């Protein structure tokens, strides 16, 4: 997953060349730490291919931005905040943070450290990793359910919704941290989260498509599940193939094959679109 399409972001940038997302309306132009990290990762991966100084300049700029904008939350943990309100289930009031942002920020900073040797990138990654060591109720991004399963939450809401793509990206941030530091805490967290993912994949399987999140409709009062869009369904397949490559666990390959098969069926694609459209009409 090279993020190559993110590397040459065509939208607005700030005076330092960092991407800004245009949310229009009251939100307008905003820095999004996830978008900054993905822009940086895309340029890093292209730099690995061609050793371009321009690519290096961009992923270093993204890494510098992440260092400068890592800040303590109300619990004293270091996070990347989103400084705008966002509608998801209920309104996430600014500033809010995300397990997805924490994982992808760590992934970029560790690559910048390996390339440049600049200790500030490793130090920032270490501070950001602390958010995985604390529960969501304590200002972190980790949730342990009644069965003892360990989740990393993209959005910190109650009840947690276990968004699939965000969980997997956060897992990779923990995995990268283990590879870079050989931290036993990171190794154990990665193993626990990987087991959670493997044991719960069936709950994301509708029999014709994948779910965007696991819980949602039963606990949030909605009557429909949040079915993944075609984009996110394809992303799930790609992510599961990478999980198989990392772990060697055939469960991930099996679900990737199954979900890829779903997408080849026009009837399944139409059914998923109808579910998705009905959900948006009813709740958004």
Whether residue 282 has pLDDT greater than 60: no
Q: Is residue 218 predicted with pLDDT exceeding 50?
A: no
Q: Which of the four pLDDT bands, split at 50, 70 and 90, describes residue 222?
A: low
What pLDDT does residue 89 have?
A: 78
If one counts every other C-beta atom within 10 angstroms of the C-beta of residue 148, the result is: 9
pLDDT computed for residue 279 by the predictor: 67
Angle at the Cα of 136 from the Cα atoms of 195 and 241, rounded to 5 degrees: 30
> Looking at residue 226, what is its pLDDT?
87
Q: Is pLDDT above 60 for 219?
A: no
| Per-residue confidence (pLDDT) for residue 277, from 0 to 100 | 76
Q: What is the mean pLDDT of residues 57-86?
A: 98
Question: Which position has the higher pLDDT, 215 or 187?
Answer: 187
**The pLDDT of residue 194 is above 70:** yes
* C-alpha count within 13 angstroms, C-beta hemisphere, residue 27: 18
Q: Is the dihedral of CA 85, 91, 95, 96 positive or negative?
A: negative
Torsion angles phi and psi, residue 79, rounded to 5: -140, 165
- pLDDT tens-digit series, residues 132-180: 999 999 999 999 999 999 999 999 999 999 999 999 999 999 999 999 9
pLDDT digits (tens, 9 = 90+) for 89-133: 788 999 999 999 999 999 999 999 999 999 999 999 999 999 999
| Average pLDDT value for residue range 227-248 | 97
């Amino acid at each position: 997953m090279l993020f190559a399409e993110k590397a040459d972001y065509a939208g607005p940038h700030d005076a330092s060349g960092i991407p800004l997302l245009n949310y229009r309306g009251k939100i307008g132009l905003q820095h999004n730490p996830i978008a900054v990290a993905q822009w940086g990762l895309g340029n890093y991966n292209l730099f690995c291919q061609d050793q371009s100084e321009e690519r290096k300049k961009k992923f270093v700029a993204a890494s510098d931005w992440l260092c400068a904008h890592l800040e303590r939350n109300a619990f004293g943990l270091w996070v990347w905040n989103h400084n705008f309100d966002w509608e998801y289930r209920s309104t996430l009031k600014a500033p809010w943070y995300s397990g997805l942002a924490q994982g992808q920020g760590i992934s970029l900073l560790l690559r910048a450290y390996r390339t440049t040797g600049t200790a500030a990138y490793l130090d920032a990654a270490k501070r950001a990793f602390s958010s995985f060591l604390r529960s969501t109720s304590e200002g972190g991004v980790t949730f342990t359910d009644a069965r003892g399963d360990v989740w990393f939450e993209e959005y910190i809401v109650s009840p947690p919704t276990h968004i699939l793509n965000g969980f997997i990206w956060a897992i990779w941030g923990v995995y990268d941290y283990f590879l870079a530091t050989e931290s036993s805490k990171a190794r154990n967290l990665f193993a626990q989260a990987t087991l959670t993912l493997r044991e719960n994949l069936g709950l994301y399987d509708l029999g014709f498509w994948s779910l965007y999140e696991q819980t949602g409709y039963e606990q949030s009062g909605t009557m429909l599940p949040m079915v993944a869009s075609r984009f996110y369904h394809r992303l799930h397949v790609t992510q599961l193939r990478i999980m198989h490559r990392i772990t060697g666990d055939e469960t991930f390959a099996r679900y990737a094959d199954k979900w890829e098969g779903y997408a080849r069926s026009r009837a399944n694609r139409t059914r998923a679109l109808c579910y998705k459209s009905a959900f948006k009409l009813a709740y958004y």
